[in-house]
Chains A and B, each alone.
Chain A
Amino acid sequence: MLARTADNLFWLARSMERADFIARMIEATLRLEYLPRSGVDDPAAEWAGALNAVGVDEAFHATRGEIDEASAIDFLTFDRANPSSICNCLENARANGRAVRTALTVETWTAINDAWLELKRFEATRRAGRDLDREALARFLDYVKKASLDFDGACYRTMLRNDGYWFNRLGIFVERADNTARLLDVKYHLLLPSNEKVGGSLDYFQWVAILRAVSAATAYHWVYRDRVKPWLIADLLILKSAMPRSLIFCYESIDLALDSLARADGRSGAAQRQARAMLATLERASMSEIFQDGLHEFITTFIEDNARLAATISEQYLFV
């Protein structure tokens, strides 16, 4: 496969996955914002957290002033100046897809193209009137999540299991691992109001919001049959193989994709070694150790290692 094609497939998948994550972040943050509050609060804290989790807090401050709901949502959805806005994710996905039409099945292309056409309709509505109201925003976010489901489903159901498919999977899971880890990292840092006791109600809803952001609120209860507890959430999102957004699930998938590439090529390299080492670390880890050594340190190291793996994949296959 052409190196450029592989690169496009990888980034196409990352863009679609990221759009989905941003949509979920916005939804979860809106729910948090609707909570009744006691005492003086920083109303922008949740949105700052959301921007941080998506990794665009610096970009936001570069072009905009104070953080508030309207501004944050606009920045995350339709702002062309934000490289990771949903509209830019979908534009990038389509541009990447268009550049490698031959490597996509008709179904996959149609899923991307339909999402893009829908985006154009939303943008036209927006140009015609004002910002989206909450109802229209909800519809928009639903459609973004559906677009990513369509895309993923089309890939899964229609793509040949050859290198194109494995680069697609790599893109999805490298991006997803990054998203889940960033979400954990941000929520770890989130300062609770001083008058709230640890384990208090706002705390509880914060953790539920995390579960919602990765569509795991129901899954949590099936897995633990217990009320929401922060260390179990961390366990679910880091070490539970059954959870499709957990770090370990992402790395099982990455390891499988890289192994499949290596088998087809008859050669294995640094990317395979790094992925295997990260998977082994996750398999050996236990939550008590992670908490003991520091959850923050664990997550930070993971985010760095994940980025390093992406760079190694580029070096080994994509020649960038």
Chain B
Amino acid sequence: MGAGGSFDEMGLGGESVRPLYRQIARWLEETPPEVLASRRAQAEYMFRRIGITFGVYGDKDAAERLIPFDIVPRVISRGEWTRLAAGLTQRVNALNMFLRDVYGPRAILRENIVPEELILRNPYYRPEMIGHRAPHDIWVHIAGIDIVRVDENAFYVLEDNARTPSGVSYMLENREVTMRLMPDLFARHRVAPVDDYPDELLACLRSVTPRPSASDASIVLLTPGPFNSAYYEHSFLADKLGVELVEGRDLFVDEEVVFMRTTLGPKRVDVIYRRVDDEFLDPLVFNPESLLGVPGLLGAYLAGNVTIANAVGTGVADDKAIYSYVPELIRFYLSEEPLLQNVPTYRCREPQMLNFVLERLDQLVVKEVNGSGGYGMLVGPHASAAQREFFAAKLKADPANYIAQPTLALSTCPASFDSGISPRHVDLRPFVLSGANGVRIVPGGLTRVALTQGSLVVNSSQGGGTKDTWVVDDDATPGEG
């Protein structure tokens, strides 16, 4: 057992090391503390030099603070991964069908599977999209599904990110750093590679071009610009994809066709991988103050002249209130039983649930339905009485804006500190790509780790860190010795 009775994925603090972690346990035991310390320092130096930074909102001085990296890799067996991947594919397929439905025939509302107001009055529901079919019926091209683990067998989906999930650059850079820092340890495992992610993403984006006949789809990555906290990732991905990294001002729309301003004059754009939120995409339709967007973009999109990935209006599928219905969505659209379980979720909009939650605030995690990045949430067991009271008032004032979940005993993984090896809570964000060419998932994902002892909040905006994530063949520990 790990920290506070949690499942430790290596078996730290328990009687025996899990076989999957045999080599890592040995490495941790055999490596002198000063060598581990120098690996940590080297890792930080490498990240700082490449310029990986994650700006944290509301933290002016630390505009370019590094996201911490823990050098101890997290290991997932091939068998575990295969199960996860099947569940993720199923889930994302259902989300795509759900979006097609809620902007189209609305069968799910007619059948009363999901309450109408949850959709139609959802702030992320885009009435502009009603009656529109996304090209190839793909809405969520890139999904980040957050997974937590509580024991040897149980994985839960914590959250679906269907808008503009970030973090994949860390998945890729963490692997590069691990391979360079710990080549011997790496060689003792058969680790599934992740470096084909950019190629898979490119293939996915190409597959949804509105002009399949044109010889070469012109793809761009739309960023809010260097002041955005995820700008590093935007530039990193654009570079790996070999596509232009554009800002709103680099694009314009003429006769419902999108162009970018190049040194050779205007060039037509077919697919926009956007990392700009819906409400800033087009000042003519959404936020008129937005300088990040492109006037007329939505018109071009609705005319079918450009593909936007992810599609406009996907936020309605990653809302935490909708989250609690995803198992039902899977049954409804796919006639299958969900392969991945949800964390039990109490919908505060239902009066008896609200009372249930208010009585147990000290045991539950309460989240804003539309919150993200770990903002606006209450972790009951760790909160003060005053914080709980404050949240109780917020809940009563606007119950529909909240859901509550039991505090899960999130699994832990060993992490390396100056003080030694110690277990820390982790989650996992695999990145699921959906294109006309099917669903692809690069094995692994981004493991986020709550570096503060006992903390359950892994968000990088709340001081969380990351780890490299190895999907390893079950049978294999080659190069023994």
Contacts and interface: CB of A to CB of B under 8 A. Distances in A.
B50 A110 contact: yes
Contact of B250 (A4, A109, A117, A317): A4
B186 interface: no
B235 A101 contact: yes
B226 A99 contact: yes
Contacts of B325: none
Given A101-B235, A101-B239, A3 B49 contact: no
A104 to B, nearest CB: 9
Contacts of A117: 48
A2 to B, nearest CB: 5
A313 to B, nearest CB: 10
B286 interface: no
B225 interface: yes
Interface stretch (B129-137, B258-266, B440-448, B473-481): B258-266
Contact of A3 (B238, B239, B261): B261
Interface stretch (B3-11, B72-80, B241-249, B291-299): B241-249
A7 to B, nearest CB: 9
Given A3-B250, A4-B250, A106 B48 contact: no
Contact of B245 (A102, A167, A261): A102
Nearest to B264: A265
Interface in A218-244: none
A69 interface: no
Contacts of A95: 226
B263 A1 contact: yes
A102 B231 CA distance: 11
Contact of B261 (A4, A98, A106, A163): A4
B244 A2 contact: yes
Given A3-B263, A4-B247, A318-B263, A98 B49 contact: no
A114 interface: yes
Contacts of B226: 95, 98-99
A95 B231 CA distance: 12
Interface residues of B, number: 23
A319 interface: yes
Contacts of A319: 261
B202 to A, nearest CB: 14
Given A99-B225, A102-B239, A2 B261 contact: yes
Contacts of A5: 244
B301 to A, nearest CB: 21
Most chain B CB within a 10 A radius of its CB, from A98, A110, A167, A318: A98
Interface residues of A, number: 25
A55 to B, nearest CB: 27
B16 to A, nearest CB: 43
Interface in A1-28: 1-6
A318 B236 CA distance: 24
Contacts of B374: none
A6 B244 CA distance: 12
Contacts of A306: none
Contact of B49 (A2, A100, A113, A317): A113
B389 to A, nearest CB: 43
B127 interface: no
B226 to A, nearest CB: 5
21 contacts: A1-B244, A1-B262, A1-B263, A1-B264, A2-B262, A2-B263, A3-B250, A3-B261, A4-B250, A4-B261, A6-B263, A95-B226, A99-B225, A100-B245, A101-B239, A102-B239, A102-B244, A110-B49, A110-B50, A117-B48, A163-B263
Q: 7 closest pairs, A vs B, by CB?
A: A101-B235, A102-B239, A317-B263, A102-B238, A102-B245, A3-B261, A6-B263
Given A1-B264, A99-B226, 18 more contacts: A1-B262, A1-B263, A2-B246, A2-B260, A3-B262, A4-B250, A98-B235, A101-B51, A101-B235, A101-B238, A102-B239, A109-B50, A110-B51, A113-B51, A114-B49, A261-B263, A265-B264, A318-B263
